[in-house]
Structure 1
């Protein structure tokens, strides 16, 4: 639903292709690209290629034509187009005019099979998608040569795809190598040089241009830190102090598995590749939630202390609670704010740990979720407290015989009369004594 309206059926398009396609491009599309981008994206690519011979130079085709050709709704076609752009098979240009919005689709040549297997990023992704047996068969069939040269591809990968592990919510961003040297994240390898020199390993033999590209790709693909890449490099060094690419890839994958406890990575569309409008909070509560979403626990403590510096003891306590219970930073901020309000601005570790374990079981992920959960729990506690105050012992439902009631009433009546007579006699005696006293005077 989120992609509906990104393109309209009446909007036009033109198709262009510079150069010629490799003779084995259908093999590449079917066996190498299709496992990564799906059948709809490949179908759109082939449809656009065949549109080259039928388009009118003066009047562009409308996207309604594509809907009829592919028998797909326009939002599916739009998502397929994004996949082609992300994997490097299509460039898109938007042309605005008073009459009509027109898109220019510049088709990019796919890698030939041999070229595809020279790209480390695409090779690793294909391996994880189709498995070792099928991957080895394709690799042997297409007679891959160990050459590190590649073919230029200019479309952005990270704007469209992400790698993820099935069965978890953890997401790892990845970026495709569009050329061997270009569009790779700019990484400073000075830390690697220092490590190699400290171990008396020749830097130039390890940090070649191809190896730097490979390290950059694996760092991005597997979301590895610098020290993890250092481990992988040391594991993959040969006796001649050169880097073995295959062993390095396997080491990176092993590090990724040990950290995420998963066996594979796959491509999926990002939740939204378009730009989103920033929401401006209006109420004080929304402003507080936005602040708790973005501020660090340390800065939050300092803000609540009127600018005073957070103590090391408090920060250590917060760090232990966060790491032990696995609370995200926004949820931890709400917890700090809540505990300080409940304990007269004092951080109680026992109280904080009790609430943190409860919130961890509730699987809270954002400040708004934590705020709503805290309000709900506090309301339930107050309701139970008020209920206990208003509690009364229920009246006894024991059955009393009629003869017992009559006897009790008779006793009360006789006792009442006797009491009245006793009071009257006593009153009369006191009055008589008083009269005698005054008569003597």
Structure 2
């Protein structure tokens, strides 16, 4: 990752602290947080913690050059350490641009006490994978037992911006809205899960409590699971009273992770393959590229609502899509292309039999992204058209002179090829523009 220029030594920073530190926070930092984020991040946290006292009577911000001298670290390593603190939930960063310079505000979050840390489903599970069963059991046995807004835009990195839980070569293809203690988590759409439970007559409120939703979100993020896999794990972990058994649920998620990733271990790995920011919509790209971008980044539910001018997607359609995603294991972007394809082929109606048949075919093709699915769909349409042409030729057996047949054949082929190519291109562009129009009109 290119980190040069992310922060300049001359740029200033303020330090604020929100919350109250537990008395045994230092033990948590040393034995629980440090195995996950490393020594440099812990030293940065402790330095900033005491730095706020030095800034109490100052009128101007401290420079990052001073921080480099305190830590005896180059600025790029300080930047990496800062992002790890952000990802693990110990720091929020705000950036304020002025005509003269940039100033950062580092808002420190209180570290968990050892007991709080070990009760957090995600952090405790990560620590378990990092240090092993024996050391984790030893720590567990040993340790068993509101905020002012700041100036600037919140540019804090979330957990998934900074870390991945498996190494890049084993990765399968494929915002914070409130202040909270612990790891920052993006919101998960539970619509599909709710429909799956309702279909089986399981009380959703009993299963999807606020705490359970948090655990489900954390496990989904930790093990990089799809929605249909989370649904399986929930069903496996339900008790006879339709309550979610948390330990069994976590074990089920881990089993699913291992089955997908050939027994790979779960560890925090800093992302280094691309810049850490939200992917922007392609500018100046073709209509098709814009459509692929949208299909890659929205949920099937949102796609259906966008195509119906913002009206709610019907429960029947959502249940149908949820069932197909679960049974065929299609990722959401591929499912979006499938919905788009079927709607165009069936005059904007979702046909269960047609949808299921194509989904089964696409599942065997092991499609992972919207781009792959779009290319595959185009190829299928081309093959079908070529097949129809071949069939028509074998059926036509008129007795005509050879010279006449060859002449007419040559003329027809030239005209038909030109006409068909034009028709196909125009039709395809119309379809893409129609979908983009419906999408953009709803999202203005």
Q: Displacement of 1:118 after TM fit?
A: 1.2
Which residue number in structure 1 is paired with residue 262 of structure 2?
261
Q: CA deviation at 1:10?
A: 0.8
Partner-residue secondary structure (3-state), 2:14: strand
> What's the CA shift for 1:345?
4.4
Q: Secondary structure at the match of 2:128?
A: helix
Q: Does structure 1 residue 187 correspond to structure 2 residue 190? A: yes
| Map of 2:277 onto structure 1 | 274
- Structure-1 separation of matches of 2:235 and 2:246: 12
1:355-434 paired onto structure 2 within 5 Å: none
Contact kept? 2:92, 2:107, Cα under 8 Å = yes
Contact (CA 8 Å) 1:292, 1:334: kept in 2 or not? no
CA contact (8 A) 2:110 2:181 kept: no
Where in structure 1 are there 5+ consecutive unaligned residues? 146-153, 349-441
Higher Cα Rg, which structure = 1
Q: Does 1:170 align with 2:188?
A: no
Structure 1 residue 293 displacement after superposition? 6.7
Q: SS of the residue aligned with 2:371?
A: helix
Name the counterpart of 1:217. Answer: 218
- Is the 8 Å Cα contact of residues 6 and 78 (structure 1) preserved in structure 2? yes
Taking CA–CA contacts closer than 8 Å with sequence separation of 6 or more, which of the two structures ends up with the larger relative contact order?
Answer: 2
Question: Is 1:9 paired with 2:9?
Answer: yes
Match of 2:32 in 1: 32
1:46 equivalent to 2:49? Answer: no
Aligned length: 331
User: What residue in structure 1 maps to residue 371 of structure 2?
Assistant: 330
Task: Identify the residue that residue 72 of structure 1 maps to in structure 2.
Answer: 73
Deviations along 1:115-172, whole A, 9 cap, x unmatched? Answer: 10111111112222222222111111112x4xxxxxxxx9663453343323413268
3-state DSSP of counterpart to 2:268: strand
Q: Which residue number corresponds to residue 386 of structure 2?
A: 346
Q: Structure 1 residues 139 and 64 mapped into 2: Cα distance closer, same or farther (>3 Å)?
A: same
Contact 1:91 1:106 in 2 (8 A): yes
Task: Indicate whether 1:109 and 2:110 are aligned.
Answer: yes
TM value normalised by structure 2: 0.59
Label 1:239 to 1:317 Cα distance change in 2 as closer, same or farther (>3 A).
closer
Work out whether residues 158 and 175 of structure 1, in 8 Å CA contact, stay in contact via their aligned partners in 2: no
**2-side partners of 1:174 and 1:137: how far apart?**
34
| Structure 2: distance between partners of 1:268 and 1:205 | 35
The answer for the alignment partner of 1:426 in structure 2 is none
| TM-aligned CA deviation for residue 8 of structure 1 | 1.4
Superposed displacement of residue 57, structure 1? 0.6
Q: Note the C-alpha offset of 1:99.
A: 3.5
Query: What SS is found at the alignment partner of 2:105?
Result: strand
Q: Give 1:412's aligned residue.
A: none
The answer as to whether partners of 2:206 and 2:242 remain within 8 angstroms in 1 is yes
For structure 2, list consecutive stretches of 5 or more residues without a partner in the other structure: 146-153, 296-336, 389-444
For the residue of structure 1 that corresponds to 2:119, the secondary structure is: coil
